Amino acid sequence: MREAAKEIFAVSGVDAPVREIAERAGVGLGTVYRHFPQRSDLVTAVFRYEIDQCAAAAPELAAAHPPIEALRLWLDRYIEFMATKRGLVAALHSGDPAFAPLPGYFDAHLRPALETLLGAAVASGQVRRDVDAKDLLVAVANLCLPAEEDAAHTRRMVSLLIDGLRYGAGH
């Protein structure tokens, strides 16, 4: 169900009809509501899972690729995560207490993952030393906003950003 909800959220936002999610998952509405009594439970489950998957990709990429490539690949994964986030900003500001822990969860899992990749890229001399992981997360998230429908454009902009991170790295 989480995967079906993620796919629907990416296209229609977090306010998509639960019936559509149930159909995509091949289950009845009762099954969805049994597992996720409130829409906020489903939204929270999807985004926590996606955060966990994105964070878990960092050490795998670091083990398999040179530091700058691992960073680039992880940022691509982060862009994919941001695509599932459509409508979450409104939900986060809805006043629903179910969403209150999500920003902290996001920061507690994604920032350390990125800090590890950045640290390796800095240590290898491929990225300048003054890059802050939180700033980079925000910058990439902001690049994802205007181009929700054009992932290729977002990836080009993030590629330019990564090139900028390299400027002055050897000094």
Residue 37 located in a structural domain: no
Residue 41 located in a structural domain: no
Number of structural domains in the chain: 1
Determine the pLDDT at residue 167: 77
- Buried-exposed string 126-153: b where 16+ CB fall within 10 A, e elsewhere: bbbeebebeebbebbbebbeeeeeeeee
Which of the pair, 150 or 54, is modelled with greater confidence? Answer: 54
The pTM assigned to this predicted structure is: 0.84
108, 114, 48: which is closest to 78 by C-alpha? Answer: 114
Helix and strand counts by DSSP (H, E) for the chain: 9, 0
Q: For 145-167, what is the mean pLDDT?
A: 76
CB of 163 closer than 8 Å to CB of 75? no
Here the CATH number for the domain that contains residue 60 is 1.10.357.10
CA separation for the pair 161, 19 (Å, rounded): 40
Structural domain boundaries, residue 144: 47-166
Tens digit of pLDDT for each residue in 109-149? 999 999 999 999 999 999 999 999 999 999 888 887 755 55
Tens digit of pLDDT for each residue in 56-81? 999 999 999 999 999 999 999 998 88
58, 54, 142: which is closest to 105 by C-alpha? Answer: 54
Residue 19 located in a structural domain: no
Residue 12 located in a structural domain: no
Residue 6 located in a structural domain: no
Residue 17 located in a structural domain: no
Using pLDDT thresholds of 50, 70 and 90, give the confidence band for residue 84: low
What percentage of the chain exceeds 70 in pLDDT?
A: 92
Task: Flag whether pLDDT at 53 surpasses 80.
Answer: yes
Residue 119 located in a structural domain: yes
